[in-house]
Structure 1
Amino acid sequence: MELSVYNIKGEATGKTVVLNDSVFGIEPNDHAIYLDVKQFLANGRQGTHKSKERSELSGSTRKLKRQKGTGGARSGDINSPVMVGGARVFGPKPRDYHFKLNKKVKSLARKSALAYKAQENAIIVVEDFAFEAPKTKEFVALTKGLQVADKKLVLVLADQNKNVYLSARNLEKASVVTVPELNTFKVLDAKCLVLTEASLAVINNF
C-alpha cells in the first residue's frame, strides 16, 4: 500500500512511501487486541479501593435485642451488614490488577490495530520536521493543513522532540508519542494516525 507524503503545510511533496504488508496488511486479530487493551487499562488501575468490614467498623458490639420473643427477626450488633450504617459484606480490598501478556500477543495486537487504521485510510505521512520553539499555534496550523484539526489524532515521531511535544500538550484532541511509546490502545483511541517518514521506517520493521 502506497501513501503520499505531505509537508507540514498539508501540501503533497510528490514523494510516496510504502506501508509494509507484514505490518499494515495483516488480517487483524480482534482477540489479541482485546487482551492488549484489557492489560493496558488494568495496568493503569490504582487498586487502592477499600471498604470496612464488620471487624473494622467502630461501634458497640452489644446485642441490640434478645434472641427470641420479639416477633421480629433476630439481630446482633449495630455493625451488622443488614443495618443502616453497618459494615459491607465482601467489600473491595486493595489489590494489584497487573497481569502478564506474551510479547508476541502484544506485537500482534499492535500490528492488528495499525492494519485497521490502514483499512480505514486513517494514516497520514508527513515529512520529518521540528519546531524552533514550543508554539501551539504552529501545531494547530499543521493539523489544519492536514485537514485533521477536528479529529482525535496521534502524531508519531521517531525520536523525542520536546518542542513538538510541548506545542501539542494543550490540545485536547492531539497527542505526540515516539515509536516505542506507541501501543494498541493509543492507535485505536485515535481517529487519525500521523506518521513522520522516520517513524514509518521504524514501524515498517515491527
Structure 2
Amino acid sequence: MEVAVLDKNGKETGRKVSLSDSVFGIEPSDHAVYLDVKQYLANQRQGTHKAKERAEIAGSTRKIKKQKGTGTARAGSIKSPVFKGGGRIFGPRPKDYTQKLTKGLKKLARRSALSAKAKDNQIMVVEDFNFESPKTKDFASVLKALGLEGKKSLFVLGDANKNVYLSSRNLKASEVVTPSELNTYKIVNAKSVVFFEGSLEGIVSNLSK
C-alpha cells in the first residue's frame, strides 16, 4: 500500500512511501485488539479504593439499647452497617488490576489496529519537521493544514522531538508519541494516525519480528 508523503502545510511532496503489508495490510484480529485495549485500561487503574468495614469504624462498643421491650429490632453496636456512619458491607478493598499479555499477542493487536486504520484510509505520512520553539499556534496550523482540526489525532515521531511535543500538549484532541510509546489503545482511540516519515522504518522493524 502506497501513501503520499505530505509536508507540514498539507501539500504533497511528490514522494510516496510503501507501507509494509506485514504491519499495515494483515487481516485484523478484533479479539487481539480487544484483549490489548482491555489490558491497557486495566493497568491504568490504581486499585487504591478502600471503604471502612465494621471492624475499622471508630465508635463505642457498648450495647446501644436494651435487647427487648423497645418495639424495634435488636441492635448491639453503633458500628453496625445498618446505621448511618456504620461500616460498609463488602466495601471495596485495594486490589492490583494489572493484566499481562504475551509479546506476540500485543504485536498482533498493534498490527491489527494499524491495518484497520490503513483499510479505512485513516493513516497519513508527513515528512519530518520541527519548530523553532514550542508554540501551540504552530501545531494548530499543522492540524488545520492536514484537515485534522478538532479531530482526535495521533502523531508518531521518528525520534523524540521536544518542540513538537510541547507544542501539542495544550490541544486535547491531539497526542504526540514516540514509536516506543505507541500502543493499541492510542491507535484505536484516534480518528487519524499521522506518521512522521522517519518513524516508519523502526515501527515496521519492531512489529514484524
Which interval holds the TM-score relative to the shorter structure?
Answer: over 0.9
**Corresponding residue for 1:95?**
95
Q: d(CA) in 2 for partners of 1:121 and 1:73? A: 68
More displaced 10-residue stretch of structure 1: 53-62 or 67-76? 67-76
Matches within 5 A, 1:73-84: 73-84=73-84
Partner deviation per Cα, 1:2-28 (whole Å, 9 max, x = no partner): 111111111111111111111111121
1: CA distance between counterparts of 2:185 and 2:144? 25
Residue 37 in structure 1 maps to residue 37 in structure 2: yes
In structure 2, the residue matched to 1:60 is: 60
Aligned counterpart, 2:131: 131
| Deviations 1:87-145, CA, capped at 9 Å, x for gaps | 10111112221122111111111111111111211111111112222122221111111
Inter-partner Cα distance in structure 2 for 1:76 and 1:34? 50
**Secondary structure of 2:5's aligned partner:** strand
2:102 alignment partner AA: N
TM-score when scaled to structure 1?
0.94
- What's the counterpart of residue 120 of structure 2? 120
Question: How far off is 1:58 after superposition?
Answer: 0.9
Supply the distance in 2 between the matched residues of 1:204 and 1:104 (Cα, whole angstroms): 14
In 2, the alpha carbon distance for the partners of 1:68 and 1:119 equals: 75
Q: Report the more deviating stretch, 196-205 or 85-94.
A: 196-205
Match of 1:161 in 2: 161
- Normalised by the length of structure 2, the TM-score is 0.93
Supply the distance in 2 between the matched residues of 1:157 and 1:183 (Cα, whole angstroms).
Answer: 14
5+ long unaligned stretches in structure 1? none
Kindly tell me the number of residue pairs found equivalent between the two proteins.
206
In structure 2, what is the equivalent of residue 201 of structure 1? 201
Q: In structure 2, list runs of 5 or more residues that go unmatched.
A: none
Alpha-carbon distance, 1:69 to partner: 4.7
Structure 1 residue 203 displacement after superposition: 2.0
Distance in 2 between residues matched to 1:181 and 1:54, nearest whole Å: 44
Question: Per-residue deviation at 1:70?
Answer: 4.1
Query: How far apart in 2 are the matches of 1:135 and 1:94?
Result: 42
* Structure 2 residue 171 is the aligned partner of structure 1 residue 191: no
Q: Which residue does 1:12 correspond to in 2?
A: 12
Secondary structure of residue in 1 paired with 2:74? coil
RMSD: 1.4
More moved, 49-58 vs 135-144? 135-144
SS in 1 for 2:175: strand
AA aligned to 1:15 is R
The one-letter code of the counterpart of 2:46 is Q
- Rounded Cα–Cα distance in structure 2 between residues aligned with 1:189 and 1:112: 14
Deviates more, 1:67-76 or 1:110-119: 67-76
What is the alpha-carbon distance in structure 1 between the residues aligned to residue 186 and residue 170 of structure 2? 18
